[in-house]
Amino acid sequence: MEKNPDFIFVCSQAQQIEWVKTYYPGLYATIQEFEKKGRFVPVGGTWVEMDGNLPSGESMVRQFLQGQRFFQQEFGKLCLEFWLPDTFGYSAQLPQIMRGCGIRRFLTQKLSWNLVNTFPHNTFFWEGLDGSRVLVHFPPADSYGLSGRVDEMLRTVKNNKDKGRVNHSVALFGFGDGGGGPTQKMLDRLQRMKDTDGLPRVQMSVPEQFFSALEKEKAQLCTWVGELFLELHNGTYTTHGQIKKGNRECERLLHDIEILSSLALVQKRSFQYPSAQLQHLWRLLLLNQFHDVLPGSCIQLVAEDAMRYYSEIRSSGAQLLKEATHSLCGEPLASQDKSSDTILVVNTLPWERTEVVSKTGPRGPETLALVTVPSLGFCAVPESFPPPHPVTISKEADGSVTLANGIIQACLDPLGRMVSLSLLHPKRYFFIP
C-alpha cells in the first residue's frame, strides 16, 4: 500500500481485524493509519461472513450487532453495506435485518454458481418478508478473485445483465478466497486499463462511492422478492449434524441466560449481569456460524475447533445459567422443605406453556407431570404429583397389550401393531384397519 498510493484495500469480518489487534498490534496500528486515510475500508458490518440460512434470526442480528459495534469502537464508523460474497443461499429475512442494523446495500456473487437457472440480474432491489428493500449488486465477472486481466474486464461488461439500467459494476480482484489481497502485477495491469480505448474504464474505488453511483441510476432497477436460493451445495444443510446441533443448542442456551439474567437484575439490583462473559460466548458462537463452518464444508481441524468452542459455550453458559437461576429463584427454593424433592420449572419463552416434565429423584424412578408455567416465569412442582388419570398396562396370554390412561385405551397385537383405539368417556371405538 505504501508503493501504490491509489490502492484501496477492502476488508470484511470484524473477527479478522480483532485477531490482528490481539496478535499483531504493530500491524494493527498501521491498519488504523490507512483507515484514517480512507485506503483500508472495513465493510460488511458483521462479525464473520456467516451462513445465510442456518443461523436463527437472533443470531443474524447478533452478527450485525457485534460487527457494527466493533467497527464503531475501533474506527468510529458503521458499515452501510453487507458484504457476503460466498455463502450457500440467502434467507428472505435478511433485508429486514439489514435495514434494522443500518445497512441498505448488499454485495454478493454466489448465485452465479446456480446449476440450472441463471439469476436474471446483477444490480437490483431485494425485498424481504416485511417489505424492507436493499440495493444489491452481483459483480458481473462472477468472481471475487480476479487477477486484473483484460479478458476479465471485458467479461465484466459482457455479463452485466442490467446494462441500460446502470452504467457501473464492481470487479473484485486479489486472492480474495484466502484473504491475501492482490499482487503488484495485478495492480500494474489495472493501472494500464484506467483509460484505454476498447476497454471499460477502470478505477480504484470504495463501496460507498460505487453504491452511491448506483443509487443515482436506480430508477429502472427491478425488484426481487423473497429468498435468494442457491441451486448448488445443497448437502451443506445436512452434513456434519453435530455442528448444526451444537449451534442450535448454544443459541437456546445464550437466549435463556440473557432472559434469566435480565429478570434477575430487575428483581435484585445487586445481581451482576454477565455482559463481558456473554459477549465472549456470543462471539465464539458467531465465529462458528462462518459460511464454511456451520454448513460443514470445512476441513477436519476446523470442525474440531468448532466442537471445542461449543463445549466452552456449554460449560461457561451452564454456570451463568445456574447463577442467574439461583438469583432469580433462590427465595422460592429456600422456602421449600429441605427434605423435599420439589423442583422449579422455568419458562424462558414469552407465552404460557403447558408441557410434560420428567423428574428423577433419589426416592424413586422417573415420574412425569403436566405443568403449566406462565410466560417468562416459573412454578414449583411438588415432590409427589400423581397423574390425574393413572396409566395402566395389561398384557394378555396371547402377547397382546392394552394401554389405558383414563381417557383413551389402545390395544396392540403381539407384533406391536395397533388394532383398536377407544375413547373411554364417553365410550367410543375407533378401529385401525
Q: How many CA atoms lie within 13 A of 275 on its CB side?
A: 4
Nine cell digits for residue 103 = 445497512
Candidates 213, 69, 53, 46; CA nearest to 135 is 213
Please give the sequence-ordered ranges of beta strands (E in DSSP) within 13-114, or none if there are none: 40-43, 81-83, 105-107
Start-end of H helices in 289-403: 300-334
- DSSP label at 117? P
Candidates 378, 283, 395; CA nearest to 48 is 283
Pairing of the two strands 377-381 and 364-373: unpaired
- DSSP label at 424? T
A 10 A CB-CB count for 270 gives: 7
List of residues 6+ apart from 73 with CB closer than 8 A: none
Dihedral angle computed from the Cα positions of residues 122, 128, 133 and 138, in that order, rounded to the nearest 10 degrees: -20
Residues in the chain: 433
Nine cell digits for residue 258 = 440473557
List of residues 6+ apart from 208 with CB closer than 8 A: 80, 81
Cβ atoms of 333 and 345 within 8 Å: the answer is: no
Q: How many CA atoms lie within 13 A of 410 on its CB side?
A: 8
Task: Say how far residue 367 (Cα) sits from the centre of its chain.
Answer: 37
Kindly name the residue from 6, 86, 177, 292 that is annotated as catalytic. 86
Catalytic site residue 162?
no
Cβ atoms of 61 and 29 within 8 Å: the answer is: no
Q: How many CA atoms lie within 13 A of 258 on its CB side?
A: 14
CA distance 57 to 114: 25
The catalytic residues are 86
